[in-house]
C-alpha cells in the first residue's frame, strides 16, 4: 500500500453536528499520515455568482462578507486549540463546491456529518450528504448524530459479489484495514431465491477477497427480504465499526423511482458509513 499522505476534506457549516466529523479525522490521524482540509461554502445560486448589474440591489453583499469573516474567525478558533489543517472558503452551491474542491486539492476522502431526512422528502430531494455521496468520485464517510467513532477493528463491506470488479477506491478500505489491523467482514444479503446458490455465492466472495488481496477477512450471509433492513439487522447483531458500500450514483428518473441503497443508508445507518463509486483508474 502507498505511504503517501491521505488528503481529507471536511465540509463544515459550523454547527455542533458538523464538528462530529473531526472525531473520525482524529481517529484516522492515529494510524495514518493525513492532510486535513476544512471547507466552508457560502451558498449562492448562479444568478448571484454572475454578478449581473441588475441584481446588485437584490444581493446582500454585506451578509456574504460577514459570513466570510465568521468562517475565518471559526477557523482561527480551531487553530488555537492546536489542530493542524488548511482552510478554504468558497461561494457557490454546496455539492458543486465540494466536488470542485476534491479535484483541486487531490482529495482522497470526504468526511461529513448529516442530520438525515425521512419519508417523502428523502425520496424527492434527499439530504445534502446524499447528494455528495451520489455525485462525488471519491469515497465519502458520513456520520449521523451520536454515531460512535471509537475504533476501526471491524469493517463491514456490503456488496453483491457477483461480477463486482476491481476498483482503486477499494484500495482506501484496504489501507484503513491494514493501518488499524482490522478484519474486513464481507456481507451479502440473501433473499429467498438466493438460498439454493449459497455455495456459489461463498465462492464469489472468496474470489473477491483473493482478487483484491484481502487477507484478514470473514464472510457472512444474512437472510432478509430487503438489503437495507438486512444491513441494519446484521449491524444490530454484530459489532461493526465502519460500514462500506458502493453507490451507483443514479440520477434522474431512475434515481427517483429506485433510489440507491447506499444513499438511503447515509440517512439511516447508525454506524459510520463509507460510500464509494467503483472508479477503475486514477
The b-or-e profile of 233-250 (16+ CB within 10 A means b, else e) is: ebbeeeebbbbbbbbebb
Give the pairing type, strands 6-11 and 154-158. Answer: unpaired
What is the rounded distance in angstroms from the CA atom of residue 23 to the CA atom of residue 150?
Answer: 9
Q: Quote the pTM value.
A: 0.82
Rounded distance between C-alpha atoms, residue 260 and residue 275, angstroms: 11
pLDDT tens for each residue of 227-250: 888 888 888 888 899 999 887 544
Structural domains of the chain ordered from first start? 6-276 (3.40.50.12370)
- Tracing cell 441503497 back to the chain, one arrives at 261
C-alpha cell at 181: 489491523
The set of residues, in sequence order, having a beta carbon less than 8 Å from that of 250 and lying 6+ positions away, is 134, 258, 259, 260
The tens place of each residue's pLDDT in the chain, 282 residues long, gives 445 789 999 998 887 777 788 999 999 999 999 999 999 998 876 555 555 444 444 456 677 788 889 999 989 988 888 888 999 999 888 888 999 999 999 999 999 887 654 433 333 334 566 657 666 788 999 888 778 888 999 999 988 787 566 666 688 999 999 999 999 999 998 888 888 889 999 999 999 999 889 999 999 999 988 888 888 888 888 889 999 988 754 444 333 333 366 555 655 567 888 988 765 544
- Taking the C-alpha atoms of residue 2 and residue 30, their distance in angstroms, rounded to an integer, is 17
The angle that helices 227-237 and 261-268 make with each other, rounded to 10 degrees, is: 40
Amino acid at each position: 500500500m502507498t505511504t503517501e499522505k491521505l488528503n481529507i476534506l471536511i465540509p463544515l457549516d459550523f454547527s455542533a453536528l458538523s464538528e462530529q466529523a473531526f472525531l473520525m479525522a482524529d481517529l484516522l490521524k492515529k494510524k495514518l499520515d493525513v492532510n486535513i482540509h476544512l471547507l466552508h461554502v457560502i451558498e449562492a445560486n448562479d444568478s448571484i455568482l454572475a454578478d449581473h448589474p441588475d441584481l446588485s440591489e437584490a444581493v446582500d453583499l454585506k451578509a456574504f462578507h460577514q459570513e466570510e469573516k465568521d468562517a475565518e474567525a471559526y477557523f482561527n478558533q480551531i487553530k488555537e486549540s492546536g489542530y493542524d489543517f488548511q482552510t478554504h472558503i468558497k461561494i457557490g452551491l454546496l455539492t458543486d463546491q465540494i466536488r470542485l474542491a476534491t479535484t483541486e486539492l487531490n482529495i482522497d476522502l470526504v468526511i461529513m456529518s448529516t442530520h438525515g431526512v425521512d419519508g417523502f422528502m428523502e425520496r424527492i430531494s434527499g439530504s445534502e450528504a446524499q447528494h455528495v455521496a451520489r455525485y462525488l468520485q471519491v469515497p465519502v464517510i458520513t456520520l449521523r448524530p451520536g454515531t460512535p467513532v471509537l475504533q476501526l477493528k471491524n469493517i463491514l463491506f456490503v456488496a453483491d459479489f457477483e461480477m463486482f470488479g476491481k476498483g482503486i477506491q477499494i484500495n482506501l478500505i484496504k489501507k484503513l484495514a491494514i493501518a488499524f489491523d482490522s478484519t474486513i467482514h464481507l456481507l451479502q444479503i440473501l433473499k429467498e431465491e438466493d438460498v439454493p446458490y449459497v455455495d456459489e455465492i461463498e465462492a464469489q466472495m472468496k474470489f473477491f477477497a483473493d482478487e483484491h488481496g484481502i487477507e484478514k477477512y470473514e464472510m457472512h450471509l444474512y437472510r432478509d427480504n430487503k438489503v437495507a433492513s438486512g444491513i441494519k439487522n446484521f449491524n444490530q447483531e454484530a459489532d461493526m465499526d465502519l460500514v462500506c458500500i458502493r453507490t451507483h450514483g443514479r440520477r434522474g428518473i431512475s434515481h427517483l423511482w429506485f433510489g440507491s441503497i447506499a444513499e438511503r443508508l447515509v440517512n439511516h445507518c447508525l454506524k459510520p458509513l463509507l460510500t464509494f463509486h467503483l472508479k477503475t483508474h486514477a
